A and B are shown apart, each in its own frame.
Chain A
């Protein structure tokens, strides 16, 4: 069985983001494997190890530099990688089409993992678009998954600690949430071993992606300004509590 994991090459969450031309970021920062995709890889590898003759294939659309993220996925246990090389940014409508094209040219997926969200675009939708294009069922924010030959039973986390349990027929698309597992970071031997694994490269233009009428395009990017000017609340604990209560009542009007 083939398990695909979509992995995105994203700026480190701790990086300082500088905006250029009011529309794009200065890419001169550290890029890493999207954190949710780490959970996806870890789970895919776990599932592969319980099925005979199965493999995990990491797929990424990005600039050539994104091969590093595929290498990280290989070091975490994926068997091979696919890089669709493109210098442009794609919205999730197009991204899903490209991911599908790369997957279709490679084999027949039984399971496709994504993260529940990319931390740069924060789109929260690529998994659903991929599922709709393939006509596969989709679940997102998945924190538990059990797979057999024909179906996946998953727990999808809602807020407030609520969980929905769904049964999806295979093939299906699963968006990994953070509660799914604890990612296993590679050891040095894992990294050495992964260097021998193959990454197949596609050129975006060669995939002949059929465009959609619909699109989402960034017209402006600006830093989120923090216009807060902190004021100190002083006094002993009971006075401070009293002052906080006054803020809640009079300024915030929440009680």
Chain B
């Protein structure tokens, strides 16, 4: 019997959209009908999430309650999840390859001495294969995992969420796991989640990204991108040149040494399309490039290109929203 565990990420008590693609991937991979899909919830009221989780095929919801003061400690979280894995005989664990997942999944894998592939763009549980990018996004590797428990970090937005027909839905069983006893003596949380107020939407999880490069020219012009992004509910990204010039913080960098993103739409403004930039956004849905130089690499490697001054187009786009 297969038991698949899925770590659910929440934001202010609500499920982040990107979880649903991950659940869909796990569900569509079920080899046998008796496979149970467990949702592990650590930071939210499970009653509020129940219906949404059921509508994607979750059959068991485990409320993992940690002591308040330990809640942000990644070691404590990892220890609790390891015990949950044992308690419910989980053989496959899914989590998102987000900043939180990148700190949590490898901790669990390391403590269990279990195989893990991060940033998976696809998973095949029949053969225990994961597909992920390697060599700065230039290749796709198929990796076979062997071990008692297999871990997969799923790149956000790579699988479209599909909920199941109401009539085939079943009610999920609600379970509780008490993790109050777990502590960590070697890693202590001093402060958690200090936010840079300039950035509101998480790059890795955004549906739309408006990214700026050298062609955006300065910090003030990036504000213009942000204003448009706000209307579109989009995140703002940047090339390394924009970051190194001090126009935007490093956390906005997309690319091989920045964030790897797969939004539905990526609008590249004044970005030439270097190999290292592509490494971070290749797997995006629709790529729209706005550049004054039609010979820029990105113009021949996108879905739509506009030969124009990027700021002009962005200003017009913002205007359209302002006019309703």
17 pairs, CB–CB < 8 Å, chain A vs chain B: A13-B256, A17-B138, A125-B118, A138-B187, A140-B103, A141-B103, A158-B99, A162-B195, A172-B186, A214-B146, A216-B143, A221-B139, A234-B306, A241-B317, A244-B306, A244-B313, A248-B265
The answer to whether A224 touches B148, judged by C-beta atoms less than 8 angstroms apart, is no
Bound form: Cα–Cα A223–B118 in Å: 19
Contact partner, A224, options B129, B193, B282, Cβ 8 Å: B282
The answer to whether B129 touches A247, judged by C-beta atoms less than 8 angstroms apart, is no
CB distance from B112 to the nearest CB of A (A): 8
The answer to whether A161 touches B196, judged by C-beta atoms less than 8 angstroms apart, is yes
Whether, in the assembled complex, A209 has its beta carbon less than 8 Å from a beta carbon of chain B, the answer is: no
The answer to whether A17 touches B301, judged by C-beta atoms less than 8 angstroms apart, is no
Contact partner, A93, options B100, B113, B129, B252, Cβ 8 Å: B113
CB distance from B171 to the nearest CB of A (A): 31
Given contacts A162-B99, A222-B140, contact A237 B308 (CB under 8 A): yes
The answer to whether B118 touches A244, judged by C-beta atoms less than 8 angstroms apart, is no
CB distance from B69 to the nearest CB of A (A): 14
Whether, in the assembled complex, B88 has its beta carbon less than 8 Å from a beta carbon of chain A, the answer is: no
Please give the residue numbers on chain B whose beta carbons come within 8 Å of chain A beta carbons, in ascending order: 72, 75, 98-100, 102-103, 106-107, 109-111, 113-119, 129, 132-148, 153, 184-196, 198-204, 207-208, 232-233, 249-253, 256-259, 264-265, 267, 275-276, 279, 282-283, 285-289, 299-309, 312-313, 315-317, 319-320
CB distance from B284 to the nearest CB of A (A): 10
The answer to whether A233 touches B306, judged by C-beta atoms less than 8 angstroms apart, is yes
Bound form: Cα–Cα A17–B264 in Å: 27
Bound form: Cα–Cα A178–B251 in Å: 10
Given contacts A159-B259, A163-B194, A165-B191, contact A230 B299 (CB under 8 A): yes
Chain A to chain B: the 6 pairs with minimum beta-carbon distance, closest first: A161-B196, A214-B147, A241-B316, A132-B110, A125-B106, A158-B99
The answer to whether A13 touches B306, judged by C-beta atoms less than 8 angstroms apart, is no
Whether, in the assembled complex, A203 has its beta carbon less than 8 Å from a beta carbon of chain B, the answer is: no
Given contacts A13-B276, A214-B148, A216-B143, contact A159 B320 (CB under 8 A): no
The answer to whether A216 touches B144, judged by C-beta atoms less than 8 angstroms apart, is yes
Interface SS of chain B: helix, strand, loop or mixed?
mixed
Whether, in the assembled complex, A205 has its beta carbon less than 8 Å from a beta carbon of chain B, the answer is: no
* A-B interface contact total, Cβ < 8 Å: 274
Contact with B along A242-253 (1 / 0, CB 8 A): 101101100111
Q: Which residues of B contact A158 (CB under 8 A)?
A: 99-100, 103, 193
Please give the residue numbers on chain A whose beta carbons come within 8 Å of chain B beta carbons, in ascending order: 11, 13-14, 17, 19, 25, 35-36, 91, 93, 96, 119-125, 127-129, 131-132, 136-141, 143, 153, 156-169, 172, 178-179, 212-224, 226, 228-234, 237-238, 240-242, 244-245, 247-248, 251-255
CB distance from A129 to the nearest CB of B (A): 4
Contact partner, B308, options A120, A137, A159, A240, Cβ 8 Å: A240
Residue of A nearest to B142 (CB): A220
The answer to whether B313 touches A240, judged by C-beta atoms less than 8 angstroms apart, is yes
Bound form: Cα–Cα A36–B250 in Å: 14
Residue of B nearest to A127 (CB): B106
Given contacts A214-B114, A254-B208, contact A244 B317 (CB under 8 A): yes
